[in-house]
Amino acid sequence: MGIVAGLDSSPDFTRIVVCDADTGAVLRQGYAPHPVESPDGGGRPSDVDPQAWLLSLGEAAGGGLLEGVQAIGVSAQQNAVVPLDAQGNTVRPAMVGGDKRTQVAAADLIDALGGREAWAQAVGCVPQAAQPVTKLRWLTRTEPENAQRTAILLQAHDWLVWQLLGRPVRRTTDRGGASSTGYWSAATGAYRPDLVELALGHQVMLPEVIGPADAAGRTPEGLLISVGTGETMAAAFGLGIGLGDAVVSLGASGSVMAVHPEALVDGSGMITALADATGMHLPVVTTLNAVRTLRGTTELLGLPDLESLSELAMKSTPGAHGLVLLPYLEGERTPNLPHTAGTLAGLRRESMKAEHLARAAFEGMLCGLADALDVLRARGVEVRRVFLLGPAAELPAVQAAAPMLFGTQVVVPQPADYAAIGAARQAAWALGASQGTLDARTPPTWQGAVAQVLEPGEELAVGQAVRQQFVAVREQTHPGAF
């Protein structure tokens, strides 16, 4: 079928992969950092001139990288909102962050609609500081003139697709990107313009939501551009996850997402009901404490790095001699304990050794993520295997404990820009669908990610005992937290 490209415009850089449209083999790659200054630290959402994304894209595509490419897919950071005036010019820089002020706007919006349950029923998620709907409320309160001038709303990937197409009259987006705005419902597949008006004070033009295999259009040179999607959805598509698969991302905070055939409405706000890039759904549960738990323990023990913490933890045994760390160092979102702190329980003379504390940090972090997995399982989401992402997934202590604590097969893919690969796969799908060689309901089958596969094996019963020990301490410290 030829060659296609996927570009991922993340918060800090643009990465482009050029792939064989049939197999997904990566043929060429390009990279460029965004030419932007760091956020001003002035207590307001970070502002970025979207032209910086275009400059970075141009640099990453230099040297004839896109020669011979027949279609391009675009993935970009979620939650970045670009307000445009009626002529399509930016009203102000794109709003890409979330901070204390937008937290106030989020709380304001939750109250305005009648509480968390009302939002969950309306759009499948409760407003959070980073979401576009919350940023609109912030804009109305803080920059009323800019809010008034705003006539069109685009997210980062919508804006980039629109620019690549030469700024046509038609503006498009996909289900995945739309589902993270806070004003589109994955359950109904429709916008809630009343929520835009609630946040911004007036109606605006919103991009048309088109199908996963649809093309947004062709460039003036005839290059096909697919619909594009948000980074999370593109990464899931690039990994090739399907029903029965969950993805656990180990960043400073953690997230658990899984593919599911229907949208989940969760009044507690623990589940965010996103749509994926294929027509399915992608419920997500977030924890505030993942690798920050490990970093805190590393500092406490005076160790130089996470590798040293892992090495020390491997000298202990499962259960850490009864030591249990509830890793709620920043408060917690899952369970909803925003004002709590971490807890270290089970201190006995024989457990008071550095290696047991190191082991308890890894087990506490993973048990917290297992709790998040259980939130999805309790709602009927099938989890047969877990993809583990992030640099910390390579640590021996994580790989030793994760399969037994998650109670399932764990897959650790080799590091790659799966969002860019997912964008390229979407481009191949749109190209095939436009040529009649692919079904618009079935994405192209690409070779899966190269990965280590870890099985719980005989350790499963041990893992269940460690989980029970963790749950007992959680229930005693925070009764009824779930």
Tell me the pLDDT tens digit for each residue of 412-454.
999 999 999 999 999 999 999 999 999 999 999 998 888 999 9
pLDDT at 73: 98
Contact 481, 335 (CB under 8 A): yes
pLDDT at 45: 56
Per the model's pLDDT, the better-predicted residue between 41 and 381 turns out to be: 381
Q: Which residues pair with 179 in a beta bridge?
A: none
pLDDT at 101: 77
- Which pLDDT band holds residue 355 (cuts at 50, 70, 90)? very high
With vertex at residue 99, the alpha carbon angle to CA 97 and CA 105, rounded to the nearest 5 degrees, is: 105
- pTM > 0.75: yes or no: yes
Q: Which residues pair with 292 in a beta bridge?
A: none
Task: Give the whole-angstrom CA distance, residue 209 versus residue 403.
Answer: 38
- Which pLDDT band holds residue 94 (cuts at 50, 70, 90)? very high
Task: Give the whole-angstrom CA distance, residue 205 versus residue 49.
Answer: 21
pLDDT at 185: 94
Task: Give the whole-angstrom CA distance, residue 290 versus residue 302.
Answer: 19
Residue 110 CA, distance from chain mean position: 22
pLDDT at 46: 78
Mean pLDDT of the chain: 94
- Which pLDDT band holds residue 269 (cuts at 50, 70, 90)? confident
User: For residue 391, what is the DSSP state?
Assistant: G
The stretches of 332-383 forming alpha helices (DSSP H) are: 354-377
Tokens of 370: 């297992």
Task: Give the whole-angstrom CA distance, residue 13 versus residue 113.
Answer: 37
The stretches of 114-165 forming alpha helices (DSSP H) are: 116-123, 132-142, 144-149, 156-164
The residue type at 210: I
- pLDDT exceeds 90 at position 267: no
Neighbours of 468 (CB within 10 A): 11
